[in-house]
Chain A
Amino acid sequence: MRALASFFRAVDRGSTVVENFLAGPPSRRPTKADRVARLGHMLPTGKHGAAVFVRQLLIQIDDVKHGLPQIKWRSVRLLLYVGFGPVLLTHDILSFCIRLGRRTRRTIVSAPASGVLAVIRFLVPKKAYERIFAQAVEDFREEYYLELSERRVWRARWLHVCLYVTLLATAALWLGTSAAKKVFDLSKIS
Chain B
Amino acid sequence: MKDMPRISRVEFEILSLLRAKEMYGLELVKESSMLKRGTVYVTLERMTDKGYVNSREAERAPHESGLPRRIYNISGLGQRALAAAQAAAAAYSSWEAIAQ
Which chain A residue shows the least CB distance to B57? A130
Interchain CB contact under 8 A, A136 and B66: no
Interface size on A, as a range, is 20 to 34
Within 8 A of B (CB), among A137-190: 137-143, 165-170, 173-174, 177
> What total of chain B residues lie within 8 Å of the partner, measured CB to CB?
20
> Contact: A131 with B26, CB < 8 Å?
no
Name the one of B37, B42, B67 contacting A177, with C-beta atoms under 8 angstroms: B42
* Chain B binding surface, main DSSP class: helix
Q: A139 and B42 in contact (CB under 8 A), knowing A131-B70, A134-B67?
A: no
Pick the contact of B42: A142, A165, A173 (CB < 8 A).
A173
Q: Total number of A-B contacts with CB less than 8 angstroms?
A: 57
Contact, CB under 8 Å: B45 / A136: no
Beyond A131-B44, A138-B66, A174-B42: 11 further Cβ-contacts under 8 Å? A130-B68, A132-B45, A135-B69, A138-B69, A139-B37, A143-B26, A165-B38, A168-B38, A170-B38, A170-B41, A173-B42
Chosen A-B contacts, 20 in total, with CB atoms closer than 8 Å, are A130-B70, A135-B41, A135-B69, A136-B25, A136-B38, A137-B67, A139-B25, A139-B26, A139-B29, A141-B67, A142-B26, A142-B66, A143-B26, A165-B38, A169-B36, A170-B39, A173-B38, A173-B39, A174-B42, A177-B46
| Pairs A-B, 4 closest by C-beta atoms | A169-B38, A139-B26, A132-B41, A166-B38
Interface residues of B (CB under 8 A from A): 24-26, 29, 36-39, 41-42, 44-46, 48, 55, 66-70
